[in-house]
Amino acid sequence: MTERMQQKSQKQSTKIQSIAWKAQHRLHGRYFRLIMQRGKQKCVAATAIARELLGFVWAVALEVERKQAAS
């Protein structure tokens, strides 16, 4: 990780970092399972992963809204 990326990640709350890390692990594993074990085409697997990634983005957005509302 570059120094700039480390600085950006340190500015994020622990909750958001946790959501991002969970997304990284889950989506990485799911992509390779779809391709290798289920024999899906890469474009089909990428679309499935993008759809699931949207759920993680939504979770981060909700956390940011809660944090702003509490301020």
pLDDT tens profile 9-41: 567 788 888 988 999 999 999 999 999 999 999
Domain membership of residue 7 (yes or no) is no
Judge whether 11 lies within some domain.
no
Domain hosting residue 23, numbered range: 16-70
Total domains present in the chain: 1
As a whole number of angstroms, the distance between CA 10 and CA 15 comes to 12
Helical residues (DSSP H) of the chain, grouped into ranges: 3-11, 14-32, 42-70
Q: What is the pLDDT of residue 47?
A: 97
| Residue 26 maps to a domain | yes
In a domain? residue 20: yes
- Residue 6 pLDDT: 55
Whole-number Cα distances in Å, 51 to 27, 55, 56: 10, 7, 9
Predicted pLDDT at 11: 76
Residue 58 within any structural domain of the chain: yes
Residue, of 1 and 63, whose pLDDT is higher = 63
